[in-house]
Structure 1
Amino acid sequence: MAGSDKVSDRFSASDSDVTFRSCDRILFQVHRKNLEVVSEGFAPPDGTRTSQHEVVSLTENGVTLELLFQFIYPQKYPDLKDVEFPQLAALAEAAEKYQVYPAMAVCNCRMGEAYQEHPHEVMMYAMRHGYTDLMDRSERIALEVSQTVAFESFSPQVYIAWVNALLFSMDGPPCKPE
């Protein structure tokens, strides 16, 4: 038997016109206009409409969406300084996925503060989303890990990229044949 939905205390506006369901079955009733102003990922294509009673299921959990939706309203944004890194990383990925611009900016700053403690995760985030400065900073620390730890910890694609970056940092850029 599937669990029943619970409505978010913070996002339960009676005049909402779109409802999202988290993967852990929390409903978020928000305003489409706010989504359109601060994001691209939530806005339906031009000329399409969704029913006011339609519920859109998302893959993120309720804690992540609770934080993310706070960035769509004109209010003080949540202070992410006390958010544990795994939750920050989940929020940063959701912000990028749905293109919630204020959340993207704040998360990028916080990920920049976390790169020394979490260099591999921050490096991958930066690579996925094109933050080259952050990628360069985190890469320097990530390259200091032993090859055994890297081999055991990284996916094959990440390990190959890590080895290439390590070789590049030792030998300089590859030379073109003349």
Structure 2
Amino acid sequence: MVTCVQVEYETKWEELFKNVKGKINGIPLHEDCWTEKHLCSSCRNCLISWVDDLRDIPTIPKLRKALEHPVFLKQHHKQSHERCRYCKFDECKHRKALVTFCHDLVKAMPDFTEDWLANYTTKDVDTHLDMLYLLTTYCDTARCVATACQDFDVVETDIDGWIFAQNSFARKEVNFANSDITIESSDNVRFLLHRKNLETHTEAFPGSDFESDKTNGEVVKLTEAAEILEVLFQFVYLRNQPVLSALGVETLLVLAEAVQKYQVFSAKIGCEVQLRKYVESHSISILVHALKHYGNYETVDLVNTCASLLVRKGQTVTID
């Protein structure tokens, strides 16, 4: 049962999101975000994702907790002295631009409380539950604050009961509330996954004999960075595979190494297809990779192609 209140509220939220995305898209682009009047394309995409993901946070407490993140960063970003990956300066204006904008978005959102919800309580229980669902499912924007900000180095700090640590949020593409295993990247990003998927689609990940208790904070730590694992783990779920054509050759080679290391079968051919696009410009790197994993690809054609190119160029390669 849909009430007039629900329709009115939904309309207001949709209008807010439309205006916010319009504001984000209206900010001039600059590759380094050196001033608060500009955003780089990566920063802009993070903000758009943040807004588009508003329907995922299921409860008001979780929404509040996530909304604390940009506020915390705005107040404490100077505590971190690490150089931003996007900027040439130690004083990271890219970070400041993103955090300031997140903070402004937070201020534009209503203060959701149980008391506020109580104002809409009616004798019709179903109507009230519908309203509660509408409100909570329209409040998922904040979950992507973590994604938007997790490239920024922030020291662990306790603020009003909320504890934030560097890169402590799991990536949204491979983050499941009902997971039974937690995996942590080399840069301290955690992925909440399902053991059965890892057992079924890979050969090298821990099986059922490996104990991982999220409650006690025990995790499986890997040597790969989060940007590699985020792509890798998407191949172990029933979903559209990630677009590898968007990856640069250096990232692609690291991903291909991880695919072979953990024997993620569904990703092998995709990596090989993309690597073939770079054989002209990166013959040696791709040849070394292909020889290292000789026999793991469907054919030896990748090795032969790289070798033939190097012979035509008159290059000699010595491989230990």
Q: How far did residue 11 of structure 1 move?
A: 2.1
1:160 maps to which residue? 318
Deviation at 1:82, TM superposition (A): 1.7
Deviation at 1:8, TM superposition (A): 1.5
Q: Kindly indicate whether residue 304 of structure 2 is the aligned counterpart of residue 136 of structure 1.
A: yes
**What code does the residue aligned with 2:304 have?**
D
Name the SS of the counterpart of 1:50 in structure 2.
coil
CA shift, 1:12, in A, is 2.1
TM-score by length of 1: 0.76
Deviation, structure 1 residue 146:
5.6
Deviates more, 1:104-113 or 1:23-32: 104-113
Q: Does 1:55 align with 2:219?
A: yes
- Which residue is 2:270 aligned to? 106
Q: Do the aligned residues in 1 keep the contact of 2:287 with 2:306 (CA within 8 Å)?
A: yes
Please give the TM-score of this superposition, normalised by the length of structure 2.
Answer: 0.44
Name structure 1 gaps, 5 residues minimum.
151-158, 163-178
Larger radius of gyration: 2
What amino acid does structure 2 have at the position aligned with 1:142? L
Counterpart check, 1:93 vs 2:257: yes
Aligned mates of 1:127, 1:80 — CA distance in 2: 22
Distance 2:196 2:266 in 1: 15
Question: Residue type of the partner of 2:318?
Answer: I
Shift of 1:43: 3.5
Superposed, 1:1-178 pairs within 5 Å as 4=166, 5-44=168-207, 48-53=209-214, 54-130=218-294, 131=297, 132-145=300-313, 159-161=317-319
After superposition, what is the alpha-carbon deviation per residue over 1:109-131, rounded to whole angstroms, capped at 9, x for unaligned?
Answer: 21122212211111011101114
SS at match of 1:114: coil
Q: Alignment partner of 1:28: what SS?
A: strand
Q: Which residue identity lines up with residue 18 of structure 1 in the other structure?
A: I
- 1:81 alignment partner, SS class: helix
CA distance in 2, matches of 1:8, 1:82: 18
Contact 2:288 2:319 in 1 (8 A): no
Cα RMSD for the two superposed structures = 2.1
- Superposed CA deviations along residues 21-43 of structure 1, whole A, max 9, x for unmatched, are 11111101111111111100113
Alignment size in residue pairs: 150
Q: Percent identity?
A: 32
Gaps of 5+ in 2: 1-154, 157-164
Residue 10 (structure 1) shift = 2.1
C-alpha distance 121-160 of structure 1, shift in aligned 2 (>3 A)? closer
* Matched letter for residue 137 of structure 1: T
CA contact (8 A) 2:183 2:221 kept: yes
Q: CA deviation at 1:51?
A: 2.6
Query: CA shift at 1:144, angstroms?
Result: 4.2
Q: Distance in 2 between matches of 1:71 and 1:100?
A: 7
1:52 alignment partner AA: D
